[in-house]
Structure 1
Amino acid sequence: MNNTLTIRKGQLGLLAKQGDFYQILEAGEHRLPWFNKPDVVVIDVNSGDVAPELADYLRRFQPAWVEKYCLVVDTTDNETAAIWRDNVLVEIVPPGARRLFWRDGDSLRAVHLDTREVQVPAEIVTAVLQPRGRDAAVKGREAILIVNVPAWHVGVLKIDGVTQPLLSPGLSAYWKINHLVEAEAVDTRLQALEVSGQEILTKDKVNLRINLGANWRYGDVLQAYGQLAKPLEHLYRELQFALREAVGTRTLDELLENKQVIDEVVSAQVVTRMAPFGIEIASTGVKDIMLPGDMKTILSRLVEAEKLAQANVIRRREETAATRSLLNTAKVMENNPVALRLKEMETLERVAERIDKISVYGGLDQVLHGLVNIKGNTHAA
């Protein structure tokens, strides 16, 4: 008695007895014996590679099947292989691999690539970055390091510990297989660095808390990274050292009298020290100087006392000027009775402004006669 097995298009059927494969069936209707029915393994040729155990078995015992139904992809220690199906990259095979892939007509092909050429071909990069479905990412893409250098940046690339020429803005990719590849994007624009919360003792043992800011840029990126493992950390420490030197060698009074001295000392010192490392300092400046609470109270009292002393000096100067003016006026009146009489009349006028009514006795002639006598006495004198 027989029964029927249907193999659809895109499938293969492997017949086995007692674990040994003895026949392979292509798409179509196939009659199988009813008794001693063989084990059947149906393979979807679009599933990708052949399972490792089955691949070893086919290589050893069914080489003809391998040649007809499989794509052989064996890579050396210095190469990888890109697997394309219908011109779509599906997998990157690592070096030293022995792989079999089920053929599906002419849709499957393998391209071997020499990893001693560290830069990945543009065709592979484009295929890896091509948008895909959630589960359709290229298998083995972790073998590639993709470097994205933004605008206004340069890329520092090290291959096997050797620094390469700077990378321009844009995309590039490198094999991580058989190589140690490191890349970092470096901003070449003017940048700001904050050195905050630095507690420093002045020469006269006053504890100050200072916040410093610096504007800087890379003058020579390769020079900086060729000499410094972490350029930004080195710059931060140099700013700390310069700030401590500027503050620790001066008294509080010196710092308060000339607040620009910190900026000048820090800038001069850091510019000199960072120039050999390819780092340019555009400017430095102290943002805040904070005193301890008790020192604030003392300084407030000192300022208050100074202002009171200044006010007293001004008040005494004005009193002296007023006294001198009165003395000069007295001397003029002493030698000029008319001036004295005019002063009396001026005083009388001021008094009269506050009086509603004034009575004059003796008439106007008496007043004029008094004035004439004053005039006559003046000429006699």
Structure 2
Amino acid sequence: MHAFVTVAVTVLAVLAVLTLLGIALSAKVVKQYELGLLFRLGRVRGVRTPGLQLIIPFVDVLHRVTMRIITLPIQSQGIITRDNVSVDVSAVAYYRVVDAMKSVVAIENIRAAIDQIAQTTLRKVVGQHTLDETLSETDRINLDIREILDVTTVAWGVEVALVELKDIQLPDSMKRAMARQAEAEREKRAKIINAEGESLAAAALGEASDIMVAHPLALQLRNLQSLVEIGVDKNTTVVFPAPLMSTIAELGSFLARETAAADAAVPVAEVSAAAPPVPAIRLPASNGTERPPS
């Protein structure tokens, strides 16, 4: 009897262990951001939603598929643009699974497949553009790459959400050439702005000169204002020339006065030279002798 009880307890213990093991093998947890694809004897039996799922041990296999957006860096690619410039372009792609069954059944490794197709598409799209278009029209290039990837990956149950060019490496010689081009462009803008400023200044000076012609005292007031501005620094000696036109006019007036004075002095000299000499008068001396005139 004692031996029978011992055997029964042993059998019950084994059954309990097997039951616990079976429950552990059959109970599967699917997380909120996952879907479970159930395979029974190698055939797809359906998709399991998040939560606790029970399967048949050694018969069923539950394959979990994440439904979150996945970041996929696209390694740098050596590309020759349409204008024969060699550049290295790297990008990043964002994709997510929209059909769990297709992502497992239709393709072996979804991440590796998208990585390879993204690299080839990147080379193809960038190679169709010039260097200037690649640098300035990145939004259109990103959209073209994403559309091409969507056409390919829709059969895999994957949707490409976004593709962005991350880095564009240029040769050193091209960088120097672009720097010279940018410098020349800025010099051109500076010369144009300087010419426009000279034109505006000339127009403003013309208007100011018309006002000063109408109001002569305005020039003198402007000269005084310039003296006030320069006189702020007391250690500076200022040589302020008189206005040129007024100086010429004053010089002309002075020469005219001198000429008139010279012309008026000539007749007086001529009359003095033509008058007869006055005869000498001898005065008698006190002692009876004649004294010569003084």
Residue 145 and residue 352 in structure 1: after superposition, are their counterparts in 2 closer, same or farther (change >3 A)? Answer: closer
Written as runs of structure 1 = structure 2, the 5 A alignment for 1:196-211 is 196-211=75-90
How far 1:252 sits from its partner (Å)? 0.1
Q: How far apart, in 2, do the equivalents of 1:355 and 1:227 lie?
A: 91
Higher relative contact order (CA 8 A, sep 6+): 2
2:203 alignment partner, SS class: helix
Q: How far apart, in 2, do the equivalents of 1:207 and 1:352 lie?
A: 63
AA aligned opposite 2:20: T
Equivalent pairs counted in the alignment come to 232
Could you tell me which residue of structure 2 aligns to residue 107 of structure 1? 9
2:164 alignment partner, SS class: strand
Written as runs of structure 1 = structure 2, the 5 A alignment for 1:211-226 is 211-226=90-105
Written as runs of structure 1 = structure 2, the 5 A alignment for 1:230-379 is 230-350=109-229
2:194 alignment partner, SS class: helix
Q: How far apart, in 2, do the equivalents of 1:107 and 1:348 lie?
A: 121
Q: How far apart, in 2, do the equivalents of 1:202 and 1:325 lie?
A: 51
Residue 216 and residue 174 in structure 1: after superposition, are their counterparts in 2 closer, same or farther (change >3 A)? Answer: same
Residue 325 and residue 229 in structure 1: after superposition, are their counterparts in 2 closer, same or farther (change >3 A)? Answer: same
1:166 alignment partner, SS class: strand
**Does residue 228 in structure 1 map to residue 122 in structure 2?**
no
**In 1, are the aligned partners of 2:106 and 2:156 still within 8 Å (CA)?**
yes
Q: How far apart, in 1, do the equivalents of 2:230 and 2:147 lie?
A: 72
Could you tell me which residue of structure 2 aligns to residue 37 of structure 1? none
1:310 alignment partner, SS class: helix
AA aligned opposite 2:47: L
Q: How far apart, in 2, do the equivalents of 1:239 and 1:207 lie?
A: 19
How far 1:182 sits from its partner (Å)? 4.9
Could you tell me which residue of structure 2 aligns to residue 80 of structure 1? none
**In 1, are the aligned partners of 2:77 and 2:90 still within 8 Å (CA)?**
yes
AA aligned opposite 2:40: I
Residue 290 and residue 125 in structure 1: after superposition, are their counterparts in 2 closer, same or farther (change >3 A)? Answer: farther
Q: How far apart, in 2, do the equivalents of 1:355 and 1:167 lie?
A: 93
Written as runs of structure 1 = structure 2, the 5 A alignment for 1:45-84 is none
How far 1:248 sits from its partner (Å)? 0.6
Q: How far apart, in 2, do the equivalents of 1:125 and 1:308 lie?
A: 85
1:158 to 39, 42, 65: 39
TM-score normalised by L of structure 2: 0.66
**In 1, are the aligned partners of 2:106 and 2:155 still within 8 Å (CA)?**
no
Q: How far apart, in 1, do the equivalents of 2:19 and 2:179 lie?
A: 68
Could you tell me which residue of structure 2 aligns to residue 190 of structure 1? 69
**In 1, are the aligned partners of 2:75 and 2:119 still within 8 Å (CA)?**
no
Could you tell me which residue of structure 2 aligns to residue 126 of structure 1? 20
TM-score normalised by L of structure 1: 0.52
**In 2, are the aligned partners of 1:145 and 1:174 still within 8 Å (CA)?**
yes
How far 1:310 sits from its partner (Å)? 1.8
AA aligned opposite 2:80: L
How far 1:315 sits from its partner (Å)? 2.3
Higher Cα Rg: structure 1 or 2?
A: 2
**In 2, are the aligned partners of 1:223 and 1:277 still within 8 Å (CA)?**
yes
Residue 351 and residue 157 in structure 1: after superposition, are their counterparts in 2 closer, same or farther (change >3 A)? Answer: closer
Q: How far apart, in 1, do the equivalents of 2:65 and 2:110 lie?
A: 11
2:155 alignment partner, SS class: helix
Q: How far apart, in 1, do the equivalents of 2:144 and 2:173 lie?
A: 28
Residue 348 and residue 195 in structure 1: after superposition, are their counterparts in 2 closer, same or farther (change >3 A)? Answer: closer
Q: How far apart, in 2, do the equivalents of 1:223 and 1:164 lie?
A: 14
**In 2, are the aligned partners of 1:204 and 1:252 still within 8 Å (CA)?**
yes
For structure 2, the residue ranges without an aligned partner over 5 or more in a row are: 236-294
AA aligned opposite 2:8: D
Q: How far apart, in 1, do the equivalents of 2:17 and 2:162 lie?
A: 46
Q: How far apart, in 1, do the equivalents of 2:84 and 2:54 lie?
A: 56
2:192 alignment partner, SS class: helix
Q: How far apart, in 2, do the equivalents of 1:252 and 1:337 lie?
A: 63
**In 2, are the aligned partners of 1:209 and 1:289 still within 8 Å (CA)?**
yes
Task: Tell me which moved more, 193-202 or 162-171.
Answer: 162-171
